[in-house]
């Protein structure tokens, strides 16, 4: 058996979102060794634990995890669970991964299950970004709902759009208006492919008029996130922007890869805090408490692992965050 010093160094990235939980492991040169795309199902702790089991089974022999980064909406929770060395926001993680694979990239279009964002990059640095607010029109969840309503497998949704030569005009400013307009167009007898293509174009217009409003979109342009698998959305972006849209090889897990790259950057000669894949078997949960020490009345999240509080967050002053292990 190889000694630890002789093992290949690997860096784990975890991206926990509201819909998907993604993991990726890279080597010292930033090459992707393995990755896992899974659904969160509203249970981020269990989703991370499932992902750890899966990624461990895919990890090449002789790879030692020397650093871990987390990102996504549940990045703090995931970081406390696994013992992350780096906890970063999604903008940073996606930008780092994009520049890693495409050093000349200038615009990143990212659409996930519940949110969407645009990242403007110049000379390898983020100079601007935008995110959707409360409206979910154009996100993966909305597309899933419409595919189900139309009785079309989401995997073939984009293929239907590509068959269309005459997309119908669909109102895309709101999910409610878009759905009612689609129903109206169906009742008028329009072909399904034209309706789906029209929906793709409407969602792209909504994205560009809201998320990307006021942003200078320049090529090279990357399109990533789960929705990047939809060729109909990709074609609609190319039609509106009149530019080539590049879908990266690892488009669904770019956030996780970015988190892994950030971990690799930090762990130069530093010992990792990674707790090991054993945390996939531990009993973990979160509880909330209201701190009454001041008028802020912060709702503090307490993370418990094997009956022991190991992390707190959510307080404005940092009092609880600094008292790890307090009961």
Read off the pLDDT of residues 36-67 as tens digits, 9 standing for 90 and up. Answer: 999 888 889 999 999 999 999 999 999 999 99
Read off the pLDDT of residues 257-288 as tens digits, 9 standing for 90 and up. Answer: 999 999 999 997 789 999 999 999 888 788 88
Phi/psi-derived region of residue 318, left when phi > 0, alpha when psi is between -120 and 50, beta in every other case: left
pLDDT recorded at residue 289: 82
pLDDT recorded at residue 137: 56
Q: How far apart (Å, rounded) are the C-alpha atoms in residues 219 and 105?
A: 7
pLDDT recorded at residue 283: 86
Fold match flag (4-96+255-281 vs 103-247): yes
Burial class of residue 36 in the structure, from the number of CB atoms within 10 Å of its CB (0-12 exposed, 13-18 middle, 19+ buried): buried
> Is residue 327 very low, low, confident or very high in pLDDT (cuts 50, 70, 90)?
very low
Return the CATH fold of 4-96+255-281.
Nucleotidyltransferase; domain 5 (3.30.420)
Range scoring the smallest mean pLDDT among 183-187, 251-255, 311-315, 319-323:
319-323
The residue assigned the tokens 């013992």 is: 83
14 neighbors 82 (Cβ within 8 angstroms): yes
pLDDT recorded at residue 156: 84
pLDDT recorded at residue 199: 86
pLDDT recorded at residue 1: 36
Crossing angle of helices 231-241 and 192-210, in 10° steps, is: 60
Q: How far apart (Å, rounded) are the C-alpha atoms in residues 158 and 168?
A: 15
Q: How far apart (Å, rounded) are the C-alpha atoms in residues 56 and 26?
A: 13
* pLDDT: which is higher, 2 or 34: 34
Read off the pLDDT of residues 200-245 as tens digits, 9 standing for 90 and up. Answer: 888 888 889 888 989 999 999 999 998 898 999 999 999 999 999 9
pLDDT recorded at residue 325: 42
The residue assigned the tokens 């762990």 is: 267
Two structure tokens written together for 55: 């990624």
* pLDDT: which is higher, 220 or 173: 220
Number of Cβ within 10 Å of residue 206's Cβ equals 21
Statement: residue 165 has pLDDT above 60:
yes
> Is residue 173 very low, low, confident or very high in pLDDT (cuts 50, 70, 90)?
low
> Is residue 141 very low, low, confident or very high in pLDDT (cuts 50, 70, 90)?
confident
Two structure tokens written together for 34: 């393995």
101 neighbors 46 (Cβ within 8 angstroms): no
Highest mean pLDDT of the ranges 68-72, 188-192, 197-201: 68-72
Phi/psi-derived region of residue 62, left when phi > 0, alpha when psi is between -120 and 50, beta in every other case: left
Mean pLDDT of 291-314: 80
DSSP summary character for residue 209: H
**Domain assignments of the chain as residue spans, ordered by start:** 4-96+255-281, 103-247, 283-327
CATH of 103-247, one of 3.30.420.40, 3.30.465.10, 2.60.260.20, 3.40.50.300: 3.30.420.40
Highest mean pLDDT of the ranges 84-93, 275-284, 317-326: 84-93
Two structure tokens written together for 74: 């549940």
Read off the pLDDT of residues 60-85 as tens digits, 9 standing for 90 and up. Answer: 999 999 999 999 988 988 998 999 99
200 neighbors 227 (Cβ within 8 angstroms): no
Q: Is the dihedral of CA 278, 39, 245, 255 positive or negative?
A: negative
């Amino acid at each position: 058996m190889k000694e630890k010093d002789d093992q290949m160094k690997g860096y784990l990235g975890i991206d926990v979102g509201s819909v998907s939980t993604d993991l990726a492991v890279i080597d010292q040169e930033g090459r992707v060794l393995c990755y896992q795309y899974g659904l969160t199902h509203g249970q981020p702790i269990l989703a991370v634990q499932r992902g750890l089991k899966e990624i461990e089974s895919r990890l090449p022999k002789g790879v030692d995890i020397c650093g871990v980064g987390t990102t996504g909406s549940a990045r703090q929770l995931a970081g406390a669970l696994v013992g992350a060395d780096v906890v970063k926001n999604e903008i940073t993680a996606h930008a780092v991964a994009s520049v890693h694979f495409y050093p000349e990239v200038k615009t990143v279009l990212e659409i996930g299950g519940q949110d969407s964002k645009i990242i403007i990059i110049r000379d390898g640095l983020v100079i601007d970004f935008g995110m959707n607010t409360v409206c979910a029109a154009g996100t993966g969840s909305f597309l899933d709902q419409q595919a189900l309503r139309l009785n079309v497998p989401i995997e073939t949704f984009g293929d239907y759009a590509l068959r269309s030569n005459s997309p119908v005009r669909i109102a895309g400013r709101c999910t409610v208006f878009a759905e009612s307009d689609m129903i109206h167009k169906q009742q008028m007898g329009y072909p399904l492919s034209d309706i789906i293509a029209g929906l793709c174009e409407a969602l792209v217009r909504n994205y560009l008029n809201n998320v990307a409003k006021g942003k200078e979109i320049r090529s090279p342009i990357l399109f990533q996130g789960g929705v990047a698998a939809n060729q109909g959305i990709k074609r609609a972006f190319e039609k509106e922007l009149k530019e080539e849209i590049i879908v990266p090889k690892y488009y669904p897990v770019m956030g996780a890869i970015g988190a892994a790259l950030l971990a690799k950057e930090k762990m130069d000669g530093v010992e990792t805090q990674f707790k090991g894949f054993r945390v996939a078997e531990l009993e973990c949960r979160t509880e909330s408490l209201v701190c009454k020490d001041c008028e802020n009345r912060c709702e503090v999240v307490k993370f418990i692992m094997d009956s022991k509080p190991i992390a707190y967050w959510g307080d404005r002053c940092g009092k609880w965050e600094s008292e790890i292990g307090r009961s």
